[in-house]
Chain A
Amino acid sequence: MSQEQDNPFLNGLWKESPVFVQFLGMCPTLAVTNSVRNAIAMGLATTFVLVLTNVLVSSVRKLVPNQVRIATFIAIAATAVTVTDYLVKAISIDIYKALGPFLALIVVNCVILARAEAFAAKNNVSRSFADGLGNGVGFTLGLTMLGTVREVLGAGSFLGVSLFGPNFEPWVLFLLPPGGFITLAFWLLLFAWYRDRKARAAAAPAAMQEVHS
């Protein structure tokens, strides 16, 4: 436990990945991952909001009375999202249109509130910054993994670059909503299988020794 607490960045990045372990922020995870570009853009926007919210929450954590903390956290998150919304609009109108309402919906992405409540409200600013960054990058990574599978199978391209030539028949289902569910399900199955195999490999020598003794 102490080791995990020592590195909030790495912890959020993979071990407690928001997408594959905590199952937080499922809506954007499934909705905007039909292309790698959208997935990365959404991940970066969420990272930005996460870091900003975590830092702000952590710096006011001693001033806010316990009863109104959730309302305060949400107001802070809404401010950060409004800023992000205008920022993305200014940077690229294409991405803004592709992400559509899901950009504004970052405010109700559970990962924001969960990190604010579970981490930033109890830790100092620099650790909260690392936690926000770690979770944000972990979220981006998860989104990109989903987006890669869906774009490669569903459109035969990666980041808009065609991979298989003109003869490839795209598997459109993967771009449609059912593909989102099933892709995430198969990533989870893959991880479960890997963990299971590792656990068995670790258990096997011990069992052998028991037999011999």
Chain B
Amino acid sequence: MNESLGHIFVDSLLINNFVLAVFLGMCPFLGLSSKFQTAWRMGVTVIFVITVSSILAFGTNLMLVALHAEYLRLISFIVIIAATVQLTEMIIKKASPALFRELGIYLPLITTNCAVLAVALFQTVRNYNFIQSTVYAVSASGGFCLAIVLLSLVRERVELSDVPSLARGTALTLVLASILSMAFMGFAGMGGGG
């Protein structure tokens, strides 16, 4: 695999956006996008978690391959992710107690955000080297952040408008997500040169 870094970046940020095109990390995307502030903080936290766990997963994978124990990959990745989330929790608690209170229960739930595990698995499957996988992790999680922030902005607006009572709630959010996803399909032509 000799993809250029720029290609990886644009591809995972926009064209194959993790949320809107590959359907990863749907739970926080639908659950945490009602307010801009929360969505934005969640996005940044996820960027941090994904980047750290991607670096750790890269090292672990090298070790597993050397030991011929690839079947342990899934379990060890999960352990790494759980540890990274725990680490993030401690850092945030120390650095900003206010933010810690705001994220609340959603912080430990990052462990089951499938985007985190997916980055670790995809970079392994695609045989990215260290720099490639780090760029991949940053841009894929950046894509998640972008999508959740965009949706939260739209939802804050729609909150004020008169929606038929049947469509309130998840159905409306899904329709909005669908329209956003259609908009992101417009990026599909951009990666051709890479």
Contact = CB atoms under 8 A, between A and B. Distances in A.
Contact of A177 (B23, B112, B118, B175): B23
Interface stretch (A10-18, A40-48, A76-84): A76-84
Given A26-B26, A181-B175, A193-B166, A75 B20 contact: no
Contact of A74 (B27, B82, B118, B172): B82
A87 interface: no
B130 interface: no
Contacts of B114: 27, 105, 108-109
B117 interface: yes
Given A110-B112, A182-B174, A177 B185 contact: yes
A185 B125 contact: no
B121 A196 contact: no
Nearest to B72: A82
Nearest to B182: A178
B178 to A, nearest CB: 3
Contacts of B118: 101, 105
A108 to B, nearest CB: 4
Q: Is the interface of A mostly helix, strand, loop or mixed?
A: helix
Interface string B12-46: 00000000111111110010000000000000000
A86 B74 CA distance: 12
Interface of A: 23-24, 26-31, 71, 74-75, 78-79, 81-82, 85-86, 101, 104-105, 107-110, 113, 173, 176-182, 184-186, 188-189, 192-193, 196
Interface of B: 20-27, 30, 71, 74-75, 78-79, 82, 111-114, 116-118, 121-122, 125, 166-167, 170-172, 174-175, 177-179, 181-182, 185
13 contacts: A23-B170, A31-B23, A74-B111, A75-B78, A82-B71, A82-B75, A101-B118, A177-B23, A181-B181, A185-B171, A186-B171, A192-B171, A193-B166
